[in-house]
Structure 1
Amino acid sequence: MSEVRMERMSWVEYRRRVETDDPVVFLPCGSLEQHGPHLPLGVDAMLSTAVACEAARRCGGIVAPALAYGYKSQPRCGGGQHFPGTTSLDGDHLSQLARDVIREFARHGVRKLALVDGHYENQWFLIEGIDLALRDLGRDCGLRVLRTEYWDFCTEDVLGEVFPDGFPGFALEHAAVIETSLMLHFHPDLVWTDRIPDDGPAEFPPYDLYPPETERVPPSGVLSSARGASAGKGALLAEAVCGGLAGAVHTAFVAS
């Protein structure tokens, strides 16, 4: 099977693949952010990369190194900036980083680029980076860009199996069942199951106050209990999101 990780290729092999195969290049996007006492800080980049790699294997794509720093963690979906280890970018810096990288891929001759986001707070800043890059490159540059959060490929049927007692919502799933199960599937050596807390679900009002009300966030940083996580659920989720992403790429770049 051909190598999918860009950083493991020589520039000669990368150029050949781009010129000969016209591949989709996947750009994982994550963060360096607390994920409770049972998961590592790099979960978002690790999972977006793992999902991108599996999708790339299915469609002959290439996976670039992840944008591993993300926009500032928010209490209602990431626990907040007050946790040691959480290391974030200002929004305009993330947008400019995405802008620069997208322009570089266009310079390489890439025509199909898929940004796979694994950090809830990144969304609008990545969109801004895409918009600015395409504005710089011009309408006739030939580059098309797909952007998605990988969890959007979790179907209702899969969520029903993973959450038989009811799904708490993606915002509260920070460091909870979905991410813990996927880590048990892709990186089981980096999950410390004996440290899983039994917090949540956290309760937040339908508004934000500034400075943030950090006391509303469980001390562990976990917004909903991860006790229901398992490698089996991770495999089920992985098939849904990896297959869904590969199908979306085919629809966007091949079938259209």
Structure 2
Amino acid sequence: MKSVKIENLDWVSYRELTEKGRCKIILPVGAIEQHGPHMSLNPDVLIPSHIAVKVAERCDNMLVAPAISYGYKSQVKSGGGNFFPGTTCVSGSSLESYVFDVLQAYVNHGNREFILINGHFENSMYLCEAADKLVKKCKNEGVNVKVYLLSYWDFISEETIEKVFPDGFSGWAVEHGGVLETSIMLKIHPELVDMSKAVDVEPATFPPYDVFPPDPSWVAASGTLSSPLPATAEKGEIILDECISGIASHFG
């Protein structure tokens, strides 16, 4: 079986697979952002990339584009903030333009359907802008293009949340570097997780506003917004199975 990753194909094979817009192109978009002292800087890239490959392997006529690794600025109340060493982000306009240019290049190859799998909460609105701009430009040029935008966590059900958090769920807002992401990483890249460095913190609480410049005292020194200690690879498998199956059933 040929690889579903575009970067692993030669150009002739890529052309044959994508001619006449036969393939849906999946583009993972993430971020390089701290996820606590127990985990690498790239879960927001690795997780949607893993899901993208598994979805493409289950479905006909799907290919996975190389991930966009740099995302929009980490925000204190969703990612701990942009002031942590290692968190390396771009402006919203840069992300929007970059995603637009990448999608436009794939349109120029003859591709017509795209699935953006987001792995970094802060990216969402800039991905919307890029998709909207592309679709309108292509329509004006007489080309029909469709872009689907999703964040993988939107496919996690309440039933799965109850399994992963048997003692109660503190909410999506404080899951940065917590049980969900850590569990998935323990499943797909255990070599990038060191639970001996995991810090037990209470779920973060924030005032009902943002402030600029951001206030580092709003975030625990670990950078996580909740405790990752209950994370396990088994929980990661439960989460991944549901996300992959859900996405594949919608687009396969």
TM-score bracket, normalised by the shorter chain, equals: over 0.9
The equivalent residue for 2:152 is 150
CA distance in 1, matches of 2:147, 2:232: 34
The equivalent residue for 1:85 is 86
Q: Deviations over 1:58-107 (max 9, x none)?
A: 11311111110000000001000110011111101100011111111111
CA distance in 1, matches of 2:20, 2:238: 34
Count of residues paired in the alignment: 250
Bigger CA drift: 177-186 or 137-146? Answer: 137-146
The equivalent residue for 1:117 is 118
> 1:248 Cα shift?
2.0
* TM-score using structure 1 length: 0.95
The equivalent residue for 1:31 is 31
- Partner SS, residue 18 of structure 2: helix
The equivalent residue for 2:245 is 243
> 1:240 Cα shift?
0.6
Residue type of the alignment partner of 2:32: L
1:191 and 2:193 correspond:
yes
> 1:173 Cα shift?
0.6
Percent pairwise identity: 42
CA distance in 2, matches of 1:123, 1:21: 26
CA distance in 2, matches of 1:202, 1:53: 33
Contact 2:21–2:110 under 8 Å retained in 1: no
Contact 1:120–1:171 under 8 Å retained in 2: no
CA distance in 2, matches of 1:76, 1:127: 21
CA distance in 2, matches of 1:203, 1:93: 31
> 1:194 Cα shift?
0.8
Contact 2:135–2:144 under 8 Å retained in 1: no
CA distance in 2, matches of 1:2, 1:158: 33
> 1:2 Cα shift?
2.8
Cα RMSD between the aligned structures?
A: 1.2
Matches within 5 A, 1:48-63: 48-60=48-60, 61-63=62-64
CA distance in 2, matches of 1:182, 1:21: 33
CA distance in 1, matches of 2:183, 2:176: 12
Moved over 2 A (4+): none
> 1:131 Cα shift?
1.1
CA distance in 2, matches of 1:169, 1:53: 28
> 1:200 Cα shift?
2.3
> 1:167 Cα shift?
1.5
CA distance in 2, matches of 1:169, 1:5: 34
> 1:20 Cα shift?
7.1
The equivalent residue for 1:12 is 12
The equivalent residue for 1:66 is 67
The equivalent residue for 1:254 is none
> 1:136 Cα shift?
1.9
1:160 and 2:171 correspond:
no
CA distance in 1, matches of 2:64, 2:197: 32
> 1:244 Cα shift?
1.0
Residue type of the alignment partner of 1:245: I
Contact 2:20–2:110 under 8 Å retained in 1: no
> 1:21 Cα shift?
8.0
Contact 1:200–1:222 under 8 Å retained in 2: no
- Structure 1's unaligned 5+ residue stretches are 251-256
The equivalent residue for 1:170 is 172
Q: Deviations over 1:160-209 (max 9, x none)?
A: 10011221222211111010010011111111111111012111112111
CA distance in 2, matches of 1:24, 1:239: 21
The equivalent residue for 2:43 is 43
CA distance in 2, matches of 1:121, 1:156: 23
Residue type of the alignment partner of 1:117: N
Bigger CA drift: 232-241 or 102-111? Answer: 102-111
Structure 2 vs 1, CA of residues 21 and 127 (structure 1 numbering), >3 Å: closer, same or farther? closer
